Structure 1
Amino acid sequence: MKKINYLLLLAAAMLFAASCGKDGAVGPQGSTGAKGAQGVVGPAGPAGANGQNGSVIYSGSTVPLTTTGANGDFYLNTSTGLLYGPKTTSGWGTGFSLVGATGATGATGAAGTPGSKTLSGVGAPATSLGSLGDYYLDDASYLLYGPKVSSGWGTPVSLQGPPGTANVMYTDWFTPPTYKKDTVFGVYGFSAKEAIPAITQSILDNGTVITYGKLNGYVSSIWPTNQVSELPISITYMDGSAANIDTWSAFATPGTLEIRLVSSLNAYGGISNAHQFRCIVIPGGVNIPATIGYAALQRYLRIKDN
């Protein structure tokens, strides 16, 4: 029994000695473990202090007023280019110019290509006149030539459009109140005069005076009601067993239009006041077709009915 106890004591002593010996080598690193769960959000931190107000740039066309802006602000005088600021408790101070000094004059550039000129005169231009690229205006005809080329001035174009109808004058339909019986070269007739100031000597020399008639004083079998024709008008009808020819004519003099009726049989003692007439005064240069009826002329010249 004592022998076994001794053996146990010896084994225990050996284990104790082994545990007090030098550490062995470090073993290999193990694999990374799994990621843990995210922690909860922490509480918000305290609010920071308010920052200082920034500066403002004002502008105007005069110097700044002392009441304008706050300390630290700036002001631009748009008339002088002076910048004031930053403003302090003593005011805006002296402005300084944002416009730099005038720079030195640059070098002279290369001469440009000569431009074209527009010449003028009366009549077509001479071939020796002007340079290539120039233009020429005939003051009399308003024909523009150019640009001039090596072969000459070429064919001109007109700068003047066709005459308009703005200066055309026309009367309303008028009825002569009375006719005067007269004799011209032994021929009896009746005439009436209407004052028309638009008929001038210039119109008679260069323009046109057209007179139209609506001879409603006749029965409709001789002259259809409201039919319009240009004077002179000849109407033939039977007066008993004889044929009578009525001829209506218009004669223009400065300021006056005369309407005259001649009857081949001297058949009248008076004239009906149902006959109506209209005068159209057309200045020179207004072109109208050679043969045109009243309705077409009315549309062409924009003549209104009255």
Structure 2
Amino acid sequence: MKIFKTIFTLLLVAIFTISCSSDDGENGIDGINGIDGKNGIDGKNGVDGQAGAVGAPGAPGTANVIYSKWITAPVAVAETVDGTAGMSTSINAPELSEDILAKGTILVYVSFGSGTYTLPYTSTAGGFVNTITAISTAKKIKLFRFRHDAGGTVNLPTSLSWRYILIPGGVAATAGKGVKADYAKMSYEEVCAHFNIQQ
């Protein structure tokens, strides 16, 4: 009888335990999302700094311009050029090409005690009006002096110094601010300054 009661008690406990095990409750409703905060006000842009001053223009380069040192010429000899009698000598200009002859500018200068002058140069040296001019050919420049009255000749002394500047046709011929340069009308000093050539 005690065994029966014990079994009956255990059976009741088991039934009670099973009947009391509750199922999970339903999930609650999700809460409403909070309202996003307002964006902050953008800060003001800073004031732009002042532009720097424009730099001074650089000196024109001499990359394509060819120039000689001051040189002397051989003793002049009497010669008639185009029917004009005079005295002539020559200096070598190995860089003087056919292309420069055709398209470029050839400047020749003579220097003596009183200064430096662009050829053609006219004076009254020897007591007569006369002109020294340059006659250019490939790789050589002839220096020719003739009297205007065709009455004789005036010598070209070996004490004179000569220099040439060769400007190829591709070098921009400007004197600044878009002005077309005529190098033949510029002084020796102006040409040297323009091309940054040491005098």
Distance 2:135 2:92 in 1: 12
What is the Cα deviation at residue 194 of structure 1? 1.3
Map of 1:304 onto structure 2: 198
1:222-265 alpha-carbon deviations (Å, 9 max, x no partner): xxx241111001113673xxxx1111000111111111111233
Corresponding residue to 2:163 among 268, 278, 294: 278
Aligned counterpart for 2:91 among listed residues 194, 205, 222 = 194
**Letter of the 2:158 counterpart:** N
Question: 1:173 and 1:211 mapped to 2: Cα distance?
Answer: 11
SS in 2 for 1:248: strand
1:228 pairs with one of 91, 112, 116: 116
Segments of structure 1 that go 5 or more residues without pairing to the other structure are 1-162, 217-224
The TM-score normalised by the length of structure 1 is: 0.39
Matches within 5 A, 1:111-260: 164-214=61-111, 216=112, 225-236=113-124, 239=127, 244-260=128-144
Which string of whole-angstrom CA distances, capped at 9 and with x for unpartnered residues, describes residues 106-147 of structure 1?
xxxxxxxxxxxxxxxxxxxxxxxxxxxxxxxxxxxxxxxxxx
The one-letter amino acid of 2:197's match is I
Measure how far apart 1:165 and its partner are: 2.9
**1:57-76 to 2 correspondence within 5 Å?**
none
Q: Stretches of 4+ moved more than 3 A in 1?
A: none
Which structure exhibits the higher relative contact order, with contacts defined as CA atoms closer than 8 Å and separated by 6 or more residues? 2
Q: Contact between 2:145 and 2:153, CA under 8 Å: does it hold in 1?
A: no
1: distance between equivalents of 2:61 and 2:158? 36
AA paired with 2:140?
A: T
User: How many residues matched?
Assistant: 129
TM-score normalised to structure 2 length: 0.59
1:276, distance to aligned residue in structure 2 (A): 1.3
Larger radius of gyration: 1
Identity %: 28
* CA contact 2:66–2:166 (8 Å) conserved in 1: yes
How far apart, CA to CA, are the structure 1 residues paired with 2:169 and 2:126? 42
- How far does the alpha carbon of each residue in 1:49-91 deviate from its partner, in whole angstroms, 9 at most, with x for none? xxxxxxxxxxxxxxxxxxxxxxxxxxxxxxxxxxxxxxxxxxx
Distance 1:183 1:304, change over 3 A: same
Determine the structure 2 residue equivalent to 1:34.
none
Gapped regions of structure 2 (runs ≥ 5): 1-59, 175-180
